[in-house]
Structure 1
Amino acid sequence: MKKLLLGALMCLSALFACAQTPTRFQIQGITADTSSGPLGSATVMLLQRKDSSLVNFTRSNDKGAFVLRNVKKGDYLLKISFVGYIPFQKDIVFSDKELIDLGTLEMKAITKELFEVVVKTARAPLSIKGDTIEYNAASFKVPPGSTVEDLLRKLPGVQIDQDGNIVAQGQQVRKVTVDGKRFFGDDPKMATKNLPAEAITKVQIFNDKSEQAKVTGVDDGKKEKTVNLELKDGFKKGGFGKVTAGLGADGNNSRGARGEIKGNYNKFDDKNQFSLIGLTNNTNQTGMSWDDYQDFRGSGSFNSWNDNGDFGFGGGGGRFFVIGGDDDGGLNIPVGGGRGQGYSNNVAAGINYNYNGKKTKVNSSYYYNSTRQVLDALRSRENFLTNGSFKSQEESSQINFIGNHRLSFRYEQMIDSTNTIIFTNNSRLNGGNTSLNSLQQYFQAGNFKSNETTIKNATDVDKMETANTLIYRWKAKNKKGRNFAASGSYGYVQNDGIADQNSLNLFYSANSANDVIRRALDLTNNTNSQVNELKSSLLFVEPVSKRVFWESFINLSRRGNFVDRDAFDLAQESGRRIPVDTLSSYFKNDITYARIGSAVRYSYKGFNISGGMAVQRFGLDGKFALGQNPTSFINVNRTFVAWIPNVSVNYDLKNNRYLWSGYDVSVNQPNVRDLQPVIDNSNPLYIRQGNPDLLPSVNHSVNFGYNMFNPASFTNLGLNLFYSYNVNQIIYNQQVDPRTLVTVTTPTNISGGQSIGAWMNFGFPLKKTKSNLSVNANPNFSRNLTYINGVLNETNNDSYRFGMRLDLTPSDNFTFFANANWGVTNSRFSVNTAQNMKIINHTYGGTMNIKLPKDFFINSNLDYRIYVNNRFNLDQRLPIMNASIYKILGKAKKAELRLSVYDVFNKNLGISQFANQNFVSQEKVQTLARYGMLTFTYNMRGMNTTLKRRGGFF
């Protein structure tokens, strides 16, 4: 019994002793210089001694004090860095006390003598200098062969969505540079998706000044979140790149084998950048993040602020961009599927060269891509009328081919310290064809089929576009802020095409099954269109005082449009093409635009406010006619004058806190096609007619925003409120025949449409370097107006979107990223409240990475989508899972062999649903589903597999 009591007492003593020994510690101290002056905002990091990985971090306050809480006992090194001082490091010794007070830690300033001293210190995973955060890429390990995008996912404070869009410190990244130079233009994803992570030594994230502020020297208060990738010295000499080839099989055995080849090559030095990229596949990967190139009539982006030669504050509407300009005759058949839908064969290749000298800068690139896309779709739609509704169903098969050549060139020459000349050229040569087979059926009340249309259409289009701009800039040498700029631009578009339209329309009678009206259409449309545009602009900025600046500008342009469209009825029995004057049209118009304005800006200690007013004038001189050899024309001569106010406020609250607000008015002239007083009945069920009395639409918008980032805790908060109101908004008045369901649309002006909404994001670490959580919300309320059979219909959409993201990186051997997004839209219709509905779109996703022994890796991701719409009896749940296992091969670690399975559950189906004004629609597109792929990758530089325990919670 005594032994039992003695044992119990010993156990209790041990438990008491353990209870007295702390398991978590608090480390505190004060950073100071050698004269005991406090060093505020010093970066304080706790590192694992064995591999220098980041465990915890913070910043000292204004008095130099810092605290690291909730620290586990371990073998640590404390490292402190401050600009202009030698990095300080100290071993952490644990005792039986919970508080570890390091006292005052003195840092020595870097002097000329100390430049010769070799200081051996652990390289910090990150350093914070003002609003710039610099990451040591070597401290954030990624699997071999990873891209920069994979590296960025690991960095504290950085998030990347499934499309490759980057959010850093709660803000969208607008620009990614490589060694301070642009990479393939201004698309951030071109660098992050194509450069290897192993080539990067540092990643710098900061708020850069806008291009306007850089050019004029006048701070406009606007910031652009920027990522700069600094290359390792070894990658600045010689070349680096990789090639991947894969072969697989379709799990459904319906479309044959799957294959892909892709690669890139890069060669950089201090002044030159040379890059090659290319791909070919039939796996729906339509490009290397060049989304703009997938749009056949899309616009080409210019390289920099005012590279298009337009000066002054916003207002839009009249400063035309030739590439992707106004209507070209309407030859294109709308594509039903979006990016990645259907089945596509893709080819893309590009070459980029940049030269960055002291006075001369050259940026040039050529890019080609082609896509052949097969879209088999089922669509349903319900249109609401004043006294009911009608439904339509469509089954279609469509094949699209798009081929684009694009050339971009920018040359900048600094003549001296005050004079600069810039020349830009953006050109594109496009070719495409489309074939469409469609069966459309319309049903009235009681499920009575009122009409049916069989369509066989084809188009063949060739288009050439070019835009050229010359800019001269001057800034005073002895008067800061005084600037002058002048520009001249010329643009040209040539668009030729042939459209074959074949349809059979059957109109059924409710009284007799034999009473059927047949209307056949067999047409060919030949269209030739041209656009010529001349532009010029002047800008002058004068400092009124050190804090006040006056800006004045003039924008002038003249644009000529010419379209000649000839329609022919194909008389099969005679083999002749009979001209159809009612569908043939000719128009020629000249549009002149002039805008003059002034603004006054006050800028001092982070507070920036600007207010201005401009007056702009549109002049339209056009003539329209029907028929192929018209003898009489309809003239349209219109002049529009509008006043454009503009107010913006930006306030840098210091410590990475920003506040902004603004009021802007934009005026947009009517589309030329909408102004044509002609009727287009090439689709007998959907007839369009123009309205020459249209007025320009005016949009008033107000916004307010706040952004905060705490570099000590890596907590960020973003908030944006916005409101817009439309005056003379151009909507399409609809007249629907209740018997045949033929719809006639006419553009009309209407006022009252509006939207109000908010966006909020809050992110914070659950545990520094190990996990992070962010939540977001985006409520939006809109009111849209349109006329239906003479009755005003008001559609109100209340949209609620919420999201969460969780990132777990407990070790280099395992990472997990999860996200959830919930979306609910309530649509209400005034003309028929019985048709009100709720649309639900939810998505859940996750990505997991596992490192196994012997250089084996496992990667998997799941995208679970939920679509619910009770009005269509839709309740679709689609789990899309991809998984792969791969191994690094060879002693030099230059090769990878990967086995992948895409859409493991065979559930991929392109679904979309939409509600607007007086209709709701749903679409399902057959899309590439389950297939397997075996790929081999060779990396010129090799793949480093020495993974260490690293810091960072991404």
Structure 2
Amino acid sequence: MKNFFCIVLLWTIATLTWAQTPATRVTVQGRVVDTASAPIPFSTVFLLNPKDSSMVSFGRANDNGAFTIRNVKQGTYLFKISSVGFFDHNQQLKTSDKTVEDLGTIKLKPITKELIEVVVKTAKAPLTIRGDTVEYNASSFKVPPGSTVEDLLRKLPGVQVDQDGSIRAQGQEVKKVLVDGKAFFGNDPKMATKNLQAQAITKVQVFNDKTEQAKLTGVEDGKKEKTLNLELKEEYKKGGFGKVTAGAGPASRVDGSDIPMRTEIKGNYNKFDAKQQFSIIGLGNNTNQTGLSWDDYQDFRGSNSFNWNDNADFGFSGSNRFIYFGNDDDETLGIPIGGSQGRGFTNNAAGGLNYNYDTKKTKLSTSYYYSQTQLSLNSQRNRRTLLENGGQFRTEEVTNQFNFSGNHRVSLRFEKQLDSTNTLVVLNNSRLNNGNANLFTRQDLYRNSVDISTRNTTNTGNTLQQFGSATSLIYRHKFKKKGRSFAASGTYQINTNDADRLLNARNEFLQATSANDVLRIINQEQGTVSQRSQYKASLLFVEPFAKKYFWETFYNFNLRYDEVDYDVFNVGDASRTRNDSLSRYYKNNYLFNRIGSSVRYSFKGMNISAGVAGQQFTLDGRFAADQTAATFNRINRSFTNVVPNISLNYDMKNNRYLFAGYDVGVQMPSSRDLQPIIDNSNPLYVREGNPDLLPQLGHNLNGGFSYFNPGSFTNLFFNLYGTYYVNQIVYSQTIDPQTLITTTRPENISGGRNLGSYIGFGFPLKKTKATLNLNTNFNFGRNLTRINDVLNETNNRNYNFRTRLELTPKDWLTFYANADWGIINTRYSLNTSQNQRIYNTNYNGDLNLKFPGDFYLNTSMNYRIFKNERLGFNQQVPIWNASAYKILGKAKKAEIRLTAFDLLNRNVIVSQYAGQNYVQDERTRTLARYFMLSFTYNMRGVQAKMRKNGYF
């Protein structure tokens, strides 16, 4: 293991030395002008390999047309200059013994109508830079046949793909990935990059897109979203293309799984043309590859399925245009989801369809996605809980669960441009979920390191059915006066839930003083039937009252009805009786009104907005043990808040951006937290509500700066953010000194705060050959909660440092390495002797080699280290994967691959966490060593033999 990282270090040093050795290097310089000798600013200059036109180095002219390319190895190159509106300049360049190769003044011919028919056959420019847009010519960046778009992105200068598939470009996270300018399976960028083939792409464009709010109003708000667009080759628009893979192989029995074989099958098919896109994907496996996007996971949890990117809630720019309620997921008796990040053992199946239709006046995007997962999960958890008197107790927990979840999701977006001034948008997102789970838990509680004080064994069986749908209508109107606009929206949303639980718990209090308290048995049937309906409307009017000033006024209306029937029955040997102390029926009606106004200044990249809104929230609730009760308890609350909003966005030109803002976020208490309901699903950790809760206010302040140099591909991103909480909703604890049963109850406490920052810096060690990215982020949090009525202050100081090295010196060799160091420093006011320092370290290396005869080798090593010196916790997990594959056939459409996963047979999921008054670590058994032989066939450029205007 040490040798592996020594090699990485030596390679890095060699690369740095290679990149900075001046003795055998020259500097190429010159000046670009037009035929009238006027300078052509910001032209892109390339040095290409004359054999295959691959990019060796590049640069960019300044505003006077002068360019410089440093550290050029002596040799022969194809020298190329590209600029928008001019014909490319191409010449052969052979460097001399001079340290500076001055090419003098180079003139470019403008593209005119007389010359437009001239065909110039030459090497394509590997990339083109237009303002803040970088366009890559995909054919200039070589990847093996059958590679995905994700593999192609790893080759592009200035683009970084993390291990989980997340994309960063020019130092910032990519929010959207489009295919020919259209959405692909919703808003999850990974759906396109992991499923589309690299060879279908002709260009990759990275640019800063406007926010949906700016597109709606026509007023620039200064905010940008990093967006990536994949442009398809013409032949892939005329026919179909896709990919199918099937594989199987033996599995190790050491991981505890009973499955002797690992199998998988997956595929996709796409058919695109200028107006329409049709895609189908599917998968099935028992290799922990769920194929779920984040939206699927959220929908299964029962969250809103509305697509926020269309901004049907008008108001201040930023997240606080929305109305936030607390987390109501607990009402659903939802199935525990423990299969994220490859935990446990899963059998998975998923499939989906996506269809887009796009013309100048009509745009339709719709998709259907189904996924199902069977999960077997076994975990061990150790927790130390701190008490108010300086004491503590320890919990050892073992859980075994088997879950099934099925999820249908449908989305639709229809946009119609009625005329030049009016636009109508219809949105619908719907989901249907069902599932069941069986959970066994054993918890042993120790007052000291030897004697067990309390033991709990619980068996739980859950079934669940959920339905959710949100439909929105948005109308936009632009007046003849430039900048004046009006928008209106209406939304109806419904969520239903039908859940049942069988709870059987045995609690043994081994140190009880009374014989009657030694054993408590719970045998219950619990059921929830709930329905949530929501009606929303928003209005927005924008009026320019001066050349540089805009007045924006908005109104939000929100009416929500909640009805929940929660029934608990005690089950005996021959009886079934209702438990009125735990059962509850309640109705909550929420009414929300908000009106606000702001003034915006927008001129030459400077965008400043300041405004204020007044909002009123009213709750009319009633509850009783049963809906047939003669009398109901009432919860009638009304809250009024004044919410300020200030934002600054400054485009300083030359790809430099400055931003800052201040706002106040308001979070309403959840319906679940407001009800005085006792939840004993975990008999040793009981929860109850608080009808006296107030809304939580958060004063948010943020600011930052970003910079990208398109000539050197150096990027810098910095931000600083902070929040101070007033009436923060926290969960205080009361711990019984005899039984150690913890009862938690929400309450309001002011004084919590959070401060953090992120700094990212990336630069090429050698252009197109080696890139180094460095980033760090820190977070300081102050959390307050009461433990047995004593206020505890938990201070967390989290530090993370990361470095990533990307080496692509040759087409036949690529190497990626990254190192992550995380430190969690936690301090407790109740018991300073239990202060913790947790270390989470991750080293990762990925090597790809191409051999003659279309043979390829990929090997990766992931080495994770978890330490907590205070508790003597030290876990090291090395994961070594390798695969060898060969491309088959003259057309290179087939591939056969042998993969070995976890060759060292050491895979286990480990996590550490420090909470408000506890610290815990967890180990979960998961998929370990297995081998797989797979076959892949790529369908490429299938010609469509249909009538000219037909689609199928």
Q: Which amino acid aligns with 1:710?
A: N
Give 1:682 shift: 4.6
Q: Which amino acid aligns with 2:618?
A: G
Of residues 805-814 and 738-747 in structure 1, the stretch that sits farther from structure 2 once superposed is 738-747
Aligned position for 2:501: 499
Q: Secondary structure at the match of 1:747?
A: strand
Map of 1:804-823 to 2, 5 A cutoff?
804-823=803-822
Per-residue CA shift, 1:30-57, capped at 9, x if unaligned?
1001111111111111111111111111
Q: Is the 8 A contact 2:305 2:431 kept in 1?
A: no
Cα distance in 2 for partners of 1:571, 1:511 equals: 27
Identity %: 57
Cα distance in 2 for partners of 1:549, 1:470 equals: 25
Aligned position for 1:832: 831
Q: Is the 8 A contact 1:193 1:288 kept in 2?
A: no
Find out whether 1:442 has 2:445 as its counterpart: yes
Aligned position for 2:115: 114
Q: Is the 8 A contact 1:351 1:365 kept in 2?
A: yes
Map of 1:271-420 to 2, 5 A cutoff?
271-287=275-291, 289-290=293-294, 292-293=296-297, 296-299=300-303, 302-303=306-307, 305-314=309-318, 316=320, 319=323, 326-327=328-329, 329-332=331-334, 334-336=336-338, 338-387=340-389, 388-420=391-423
Give 1:629 shift: 3.9
Map of 1:149-168 to 2, 5 A cutoff?
149-168=150-169
Q: Is the 8 A contact 1:79 1:124 kept in 2?
A: yes
Cα distance in 2 for partners of 1:308, 1:367 equals: 24
Give 1:563 shift: 0.5
Closer/same/farther in 2, CA of residues 403 and 489 from structure 1, 3 Å limit: same
Closer/same/farther in 2, CA of residues 627 and 452 from structure 1, 3 Å limit: farther
Q: Is the 8 A contact 1:312 1:552 kept in 2?
A: no
Map of 1:231-246 to 2, 5 A cutoff?
231-246=232-247
Q: Is the 8 A contact 1:439 1:452 kept in 2?
A: yes
Cα distance in 2 for partners of 1:304, 1:669 equals: 19
Q: Secondary structure at the match of 1:287?
A: coil
Q: Is the 8 A contact 2:335 2:464 kept in 1?
A: no
Per-residue CA shift, 1:780-821, capped at 9, x if unaligned?
111111000111100011111101000111101110000000
Give 1:301 shift: 5.5
Aligned position for 1:5: none
Q: Is the 8 A contact 1:292 1:298 kept in 2?
A: no
Per-residue CA shift, 1:115-156, capped at 9, x if unaligned?
011222211111111111111100100111100000000000
Give 1:510 shift: 6.7
Find out whether 1:479 has 2:481 as its counterpart: yes
Cα distance in 1 for partners of 2:445, 2:801 equals: 37
Q: Which amino acid aligns with 1:166?
A: I
Give 1:646 shift: 0.6
Cα distance in 2 for partners of 1:579, 1:748 equals: 29
Cα distance in 2 for partners of 1:290, 1:389 equals: 37
Closer/same/farther in 2, CA of residues 192 and 543 from structure 1, 3 Å limit: same
Q: Is the 8 A contact 1:309 1:489 kept in 2?
A: no
Q: Which amino acid aligns with 1:895?
A: A
Q: Which amino acid aligns with 1:407?
A: V
Find out whether 1:933 has 2:941 as its counterpart: no
Closer/same/farther in 2, CA of residues 315 and 706 from structure 1, 3 Å limit: closer
Q: Which amino acid aligns with 1:272?
A: Q
Considering only CA atoms, is the larger Rg found in Structure 1 or Structure 2? 1
Find out whether 1:262 has 2:266 as its counterpart: yes
Q: Which amino acid aligns with 2:98?
A: K
Map of 1:657-676 to 2, 5 A cutoff?
657-676=656-675
Map of 1:521-540 to 2, 5 A cutoff?
521-540=522-541
Q: Is the 8 A contact 1:39 1:62 kept in 2?
A: yes
Unaligned runs of 5+ in 1: 1-20, 944-954
Cα distance in 1 for partners of 2:184, 2:58 equals: 33
Q: Which amino acid aligns with 1:606?
A: G
Q: Is the 8 A contact 1:509 1:515 kept in 2?
A: no
Q: Which amino acid aligns with 2:846?
A: T
Per-residue CA shift, 1:896-953, capped at 9, x if unaligned?
110001111111111111101101111111111111111110111289xxxxxxxxxx
Aligned position for 1:751: 750
Of residues 328-337 and 111-120 in structure 1, the stretch that sits farther from structure 2 once superposed is 328-337
Q: Which amino acid aligns with 1:276?
A: I
Closer/same/farther in 2, CA of residues 623 and 302 from structure 1, 3 Å limit: closer
Q: Which amino acid aligns with 1:632?
A: T
Find out whether 1:199 has 2:203 as its counterpart: no
Give 1:294 shift: 6.5
Cα distance in 1 for partners of 2:780, 2:616 equals: 33
Find out whether 1:464 has 2:463 as its counterpart: no
Q: Secondary structure at the match of 2:672?
A: helix
Give 1:328 shift: 6.2
Q: Is the 8 A contact 1:293 1:404 kept in 2?
A: no
Closer/same/farther in 2, CA of residues 697 and 228 from structure 1, 3 Å limit: same
Give 1:335 shift: 4.0
Q: Which amino acid aligns with 1:414?
A: Q
Aligned position for 1:15: none
Aligned position for 2:678: 679
Q: Secondary structure at the match of 2:818?
A: strand
Cα distance in 1 for partners of 2:379, 2:110 equals: 69
Cα distance in 2 for partners of 1:617, 1:501 equals: 41
User: Normalized against structure 1, the TM-score is what?
Assistant: 0.94
Q: Secondary structure at the match of 2:673?
A: helix
Q: Which amino acid aligns with 1:470?
A: L
Give 1:448 shift: 2.6
Closer/same/farther in 2, CA of residues 100 and 885 from structure 1, 3 Å limit: same
Cα distance in 2 for partners of 1:829, 1:311 equals: 40
Aligned position for 1:948: none
Aligned position for 1:921: 920
Cα distance in 2 for partners of 1:300, 1:163 equals: 25
Aligned position for 1:560: 561
Per-residue CA shift, 1:290-348, capped at 9, x if unaligned?
56337621535545643534444456496369xx9835634125445533100001110
Q: Is the 8 A contact 1:137 1:201 kept in 2?
A: yes
Unaligned runs of 5+ in 2: 1-21, 943-952
Give 1:289 shift: 4.1
Cα distance in 1 for partners of 2:822, 2:568 equals: 46
Q: Which amino acid aligns with 1:213?
A: A
Q: Is the 8 A contact 2:236 2:941 kept in 1?
A: no
Q: Which amino acid aligns with 2:378?
A: D
Closer/same/farther in 2, CA of residues 394 and 792 from structure 1, 3 Å limit: same
Give 1:828 shift: 0.6
Cα distance in 1 for partners of 2:601, 2:287 equals: 54
Aligned position for 1:785: 784
Cα distance in 2 for partners of 1:313, 1:596 equals: 14
Q: Is the 8 A contact 1:221 1:652 kept in 2?
A: yes
Give 1:509 shift: 1.9
Cα distance in 1 for partners of 2:571, 2:912 equals: 38
Cα distance in 2 for partners of 1:226, 1:484 equals: 27
Aligned position for 2:15: none
Closer/same/farther in 2, CA of residues 29 and 637 from structure 1, 3 Å limit: same
Aligned position for 2:4: none
Cα distance in 2 for partners of 1:537, 1:443 equals: 55
Q: Secondary structure at the match of 2:630?
A: coil
Cα distance in 2 for partners of 1:331, 1:300 equals: 17
Equivalent pairs, count: 917
Aligned position for 2:5: none
Closer/same/farther in 2, CA of residues 65 and 55 from structure 1, 3 Å limit: same
Give the aligned CA root-mean-square deviation in angstroms.
1.8
Q: Is the 8 A contact 2:314 2:321 kept in 1?
A: no
Q: Secondary structure at the match of 1:673?
A: helix
